[in-house]
Structure 1
Amino acid sequence: MTAVVAERRDDAWARLGWVMGAVWLFFWIFPLTYVWSSDLDLTFQLTATGLILTFCAVYIQTLRATNLHVVTEDYLRARRTGVAGLVALIALGLVLARMLGPNSMTAGPFIVSLPVFFLPWRQMWVVCLGLLAAIFVGSAIAWTWWPNLLLWAICLAVLSLSVVSRYVDEKQDAQRTTEARVALTEQREQVARDVHDVLGHSLTVVAMKTELAKRLVDTDPERAKHELAEVQDLSRQALAEIRATVGGLRVARLTEEVEAARMACAGAGIDVTFPADLSVVDPRHRITMAWVLREAVTNVVRHSRARRCDVELGSDWITVTDDGRGLQGRREGNGLGGLRERVQQAGGRLYLGAGPDGHGTRLEVRL
């Protein structure tokens, strides 16, 4: 069951919308008044009253059942239930027409409008207009057209209102479905960005440190063991971050990302500088700044072949500059694309270009 169907099933208005249709059964008070104020015998009065009450009960049950089936998108059962109820109402309407004459025309609006709630649009138009025409022609032949003119207008008005109500309801459902799909897509993209940012950084550092340990295993075994121990710690940390990301609990922290960036650059042999005071960053922007720092340093370590990296921070901006080989016409990857989306969602802009002297790369984000 889709989220939208579940939402509609739990929506009291969707489940009890049939009540609004049942309210109009009040108009049967006029035929009942005619029955009990006439000089007809008691048997006739009781029979007519029983038929009217049966008509109302069948109408309410059919409307309620078809509404519930439509809400849960069980359209086949809705059609079967609706057709059975419609046939029963037509039969009751014909019997009442025989007994009450023009006073039975109260059944017309209910019969004409019922198919609106369970048939597909094309079939609905055919059935509703066919029933409307049959009522017009049959009543005009049986009782002439003048006494029925007002009831014909009521039939047409009720049918029109029912069609408009269904149209509006389906438009609202379509909007809810679209919003749910957009929300799901955004959630998937968010998880994809988070997983990329976490794994991209961690695996880059792990690759650097395992390569370094491989070179040191013969010349400096103790240093190699130290690097492998850090690889083990990084792997555990990455696993914990992935679990937190999937659970929606992952939040990047600026101080932690600074330390992680320092470690990553050291493992790659890159000299990195940071501002001494991180408190200059506006607390509202620290999470976004942390994600920017993680992705930027990961790209420096992975792609730049730089020897130096400078990180500068302000209250609402960050720059990461390296002296590496530069962009060289390369297109943005998924990491930078996801970072750009993250920055835009925070109300900022990301700028990427060459360093101050035309060499290396400079990434700047302003919020």
Structure 2
Amino acid sequence: MSPTQRPADAWSRWGWLFGGIWLVFFIFPLIHIWTTPYTPAHRLVATALVAAFMVAYVLTVRRAVRRVGGGQYASAARGGLLGLGAMVAVAIVLATMIGPNALTAMPFIVGVPVFFLPWRGVWTISLGLLGLGMLTSALIWGVWPTIMFWGISALVLTISVLSRYLEEQQESALETESQLALTEERERVARDVHDVLGHSLTVVTVKTELARRLVDADPERAKQEMGEVQDIARQALAEIRATVGGLRVARLADEVEAADVALRGAGIDARLPDDVLLVDPRHRITLAWVLREAVTNVVRHSHADTCVVELGDHWLRVSDDGRGVDGTREGNGIRGLRERVEQAGGSLTLGPGPDGAGTTVEVKL
């Protein structure tokens, strides 16, 4: 059990009722008390002891469940052991008054440590109390009058242990799922931020270099390029905010237009599709991300003169006539892109261009 605090849930508040339901079995020792020719005082004292045991059990379980549910494991163990001691003391006194009928308390005594002790303590104390109870009762009252209580006690302990084990396994599975979901979300944000910033900063770099070269020769054109840089920076900021908030969705038509701007700014002849509606709507978002990253890599790394983008119903191909990828390690962008495509049930192929020169990125969904 982890020592970290956890908010109390419904089980932490009301789970003790599940254990309290079984107190109905004390009807049998109460029937014995009031149908056996004991003195009135004897009956009242024995009944009070039965009530005291039931109260001690309910309070012990209730406090233990709440404290364990709140992550207060040491406090739960200390309080639980005090309650268990009180239950054992009451049961011993009751046994001197009503004989083997007091063994109705035995299943509650051996089962209650499961609520608040770590597993080692459960095995030590619960099994120790079960063995001690069996030995003592056999020596005092014999085997046959008490064997039924032994079997019930062993069954209750087994069910309690199994219930706690299954509950802890479920909690562990839920925690694992939560961690996996958190990891996937972090990876999604990392991929999206990489794709957004990678593309935007690449275009900004190309355009600022162009503006620097034009500032003396063509000031108006340089001013226009810097204005576009400002627009791209603002758009990138908005996209980053939307990405972090999980709200950004890439649109294929927008990415085709952005590819045209980026490639033209880098002096690369862009041959782009005129119609994106032929792409299956289910695949447009994924292919939009692929197009963005592929064009960014063309602008940044390829030194190409021409870039061709082709679209189909469930596929995308981006080819350039640049220097190719032979001997080049796969970068974070392509690796993140491959993960994104595989999550969508597709495949990504990276290789040389149609004539053996340049690079081709092909995605099929």
Aligned with residue 82 of structure 2, among 84, 89, 97: 84
* Separation (CA, whole Å) in 2 of partners of 1:73 and 1:171: 17
TM alignment of 1:331-346, pairs within 5 A: 331-346=329-344
Whole-Å separation in 2 of the counterparts to 1:14 and 1:182: 26
State the alpha-carbon separation in 1 of the partners of residues 26 and 269 from structure 2.
Answer: 88
| Aligned with residue 219 of structure 2, among 218, 221, 227 | 221
Compute the RMSD of aligned alpha carbons. 1.6
Q: Which amino acid aligns with 1:102?
A: P
Report the 3-state secondary structure (helix = DSSP H, G, I; strand = E; otherwise coil) of the residue aligned with 2:145.
helix
Q: Aligned partners of 1:93 and 1:55: how far apart in 2?
A: 7
Q: Residue 226 of structure 1: CA displacement? A: 1.0
Q: How many Å separate the matches in 1 of 2:338 and 2:316?
A: 14
CA distance in 2, matches of 1:296, 1:87: 71
Q: Do residues 159 (structure 1) and 153 (structure 2) align?
A: no
Matched with 1:25 is 23
Alignment match, 1:132: 130
Deviation at 1:102, TM superposition (A): 0.6
Single out whichever of 35-44 and 192-201 deviates more from structure 2: 35-44
- The answer to whether the Cα contact below 8 Å between 2:60 and 2:79 also exists between their aligned partners in 1 is yes
What is the CA deviation profile of residues 225-261 of structure 1, one whole-angstrom value per residue up to 9, with x for unaligned ones?
1111111111111111010011110100011111111
Partner AA of 1:139 in structure 2: S
In structure 1, the residue matched to 2:73 is 75
In the comparison of the two structures, how many residue pairs are matched? Answer: 363
Structure 1 partner of 2:267: 269
- Give the 3 Å change call, closer, same or farther, for CA 5–265 of structure 1 in structure 2: farther
1:250 maps to amino acid: R
Give the equivalent residue in structure 2 for 1:301.
299
1:68-217 aligned at under 5 Å gives the runs 68-217=66-215
Q: Which amino acid aligns with 1:352?
A: L
Alpha-carbon separation, structure 2, partners of 1:16 and 1:319: 60
In structure 2, stretches of 5+ residues that fail to align are: none
TM-score (norm 2): 0.96
Contact persistence 2:110–2:130 (CA under 8 A): yes
Change (3 A) 1:283 1:5: farther
Letter in 1 for 2:81: V
- Identify which range, 192-201 or 170-179, moves more after superposition: 170-179
Deviation, structure 1 residue 117? 1.7
Rounded to whole Å, the distance in 2 between the matches of 1:213 and 1:303 is 20
13-22 vs 77-86, greater mean Cα deviation: 13-22
Partner of 1:359: 357
Deviation per CA, 1:160-212: give whole Å up to 9, x if none. 11111111111111111111111111111011111111111011111111111
Percent same amino acid among aligned pairs? 59
Tell me which moved more, 43-52 or 246-255. 43-52
CA distance in 2, matches of 1:347, 1:69: 46
Instruction: Give, in angstroms, the shift of residue 286 of structure 1.
Output: 0.8
Q: CA deviation at 1:39?
A: 2.1
After superposition, the C-alpha distances for 1:259-304 in whole angstroms (9 at most, x for unaligned) are 1111111111111111111110111111111101001101101111
What amino acid sits opposite 1:175 in the alignment?
A: A
| Equivalent-residue separation in structure 2 for 1:113 and 1:241 (angstroms) | 58
Counterpart in the other structure of 2:43: 45
Q: Distance in 2 between matches of 1:344 and 1:70?
A: 42
Larger deviation, residues 133-142 vs 190-199: 133-142
Q: 1:278 maps to what in 2?
A: 276
Return the match for 1:244 from 242, 267, 278: 242
2-side partners of 1:151 and 1:45: how far apart? 23
SS for the counterpart of 2:114 is helix
Which is further off, 154-163 or 295-304? 154-163
CA change 1:260–1:78 in 2 (3 A) is same
> Gaps spanning 5+ residues in structure 1: where?
none
> SS of the residue aligned with 2:146?
helix
- Aligned residue for 1:365, secondary structure, equals strand
Tell me which moved more, 30-39 or 290-299. Answer: 30-39
**Deviation of the 1:14 alpha carbon:** 5.8
The CA distance in 2 between the partners of 1:37 and 1:57, in whole Å, is 23
Is 2:5–2:72's contact at 8 Å kept on the other side of the alignment? no
User: Shift of residue 123 of structure 1?
Assistant: 1.9
Aligned counterpart for 2:55 among listed residues 53, 57, 61: 57
Q: Which amino acid counterpart does residue 272 of structure 2 have in structure 1?
A: F
Residue 339 of structure 1 aligns to a residue whose secondary structure is helix
The CA distance in 2 between the partners of 1:223 and 1:359, in whole Å, is: 34
> What's the secondary structure of 1:217's corresponding residue?
helix
